Chain A
Amino acid sequence: MKVNYLPKNRLKFPYWKRILVLLVIFFAGTIVFSFLGSTIVSLVSPVWEAENVIVSGENVTPVIDRRTKSGLIVATVLTYPPQTPYDIIIIDIGSNDSVVIGGEVSMSEGPLLGLVSEVFSRRAKVKLFSASGEETSAILERNDMPITLEGRGGGNFRISLPRDMEIEKGDRILSADISARLMAIVEDVTVQPTDAFKEVLAKSPTNIFALRFVFVAP
């Protein structure tokens, strides 16, 4: 009769120890990194500043008077997509410059870009409205219809509208507040014969892959 014995020095599943080590690293990292966000971003910022100088080929001097007449604060964009995997930008002002979470961020020409999502002492993260899964109330300019813009990443948006609603390529989508600032421009309209809704794809009016300065509402 043939009997198979397990070797004495070999476990049935020899990976438990290593899996345990990985789990410990993961949970320790979750705790440690949740406290280190501000420190790490501060440490890394000089790398981005140097990179911006090298890429743009000019020495970007720090903005001395950041306040504009309208009360907005000018900020330099340190890093932007596609360096960030989500539609998030990091700017060079923070709580020291009275930036708060939820502050509106826009371009100098007016288009609204996103909201401040995290604030450190001298840096802040801005989540763009086009970030994947981000939902924002807006107005379709053509017929003053309130809509919900759904972020798709890469400066793109998706909107679902009733199929009878009139909409064309180039239509403007404005913010739902009283200032009615430009948020997106319709790029493509798709409707299937069997669908009750039409799918509208819109694009941010600015190139989010080449942002250099933004305006932040304190």
Chain B
Amino acid sequence: MTRRVIGSIFVLLSILVLPYWIYIPVLLFAIIFFPFFWEGIILAFLIDVIYGSGVEALPSFVSLFALSALILIIILLPIRERLRF
């Protein structure tokens, strides 16, 4: 649990101060590493809320990163049970 909280705080800080090519892989890693990492969706929302959504193809209220995080976590649900970390 402590690792999970520290991980979430680390992802949050990296979103605030680091370049996107660091915080997006960090978020991806956290989603894969922590089981059922629903905090990843909130953190992904933060990216789009803070830095703005730049994807014209999606409606403005849909967050690309949050949607991607949601899909990834759902895909990882059955896969994680077959893997051992």
Contacts and interface: CB of A to CB of B under 8 A. Distances in A.
Interface of A: 15, 18-19, 21-23, 25-26, 29-30, 33-34, 36-37, 40-41, 44, 47-48, 51, 79, 81-88, 90, 117-118, 125, 127, 131-134
Interface string B18-57: 1111001000000000001010011001111111111111
Interface in B66-81: 66-67, 70, 73-74, 77-78
A-B pairs with lowest CB-CB distance, top 3? A86-B54, A82-B19, A85-B20
A30 B17 contact: no
Contacts of B66: 26, 29-30
A177 B85 CA distance: 59
Contacts of A48: 16-17
Contacts, number: 91
B9 interface: no
B38 A33 contact: no
Interface residues of B, number: 34
Nearest to A151: B54
Given A85-B20, A132-B54, A30 B77 contact: no
A36 B61 CA distance: 12
B39 to A, nearest CB: 9
B63 interface: yes
Contacts of B57: 133
Nearest to B46: A40
B70 A26 contact: yes
A84 B17 contact: no
Nearest to A13: B78
B41 A29 contact: yes
A96 to B, nearest CB: 20
B42 A29 contact: yes
22 contacts: A21-B38, A22-B41, A22-B70, A22-B73, A26-B66, A30-B63, A30-B66, A33-B45, A33-B46, A33-B48, A36-B49, A47-B16, A51-B17, A82-B20, A85-B20, A85-B24, A85-B47, A86-B51, A86-B55, A117-B52, A125-B52, A133-B56
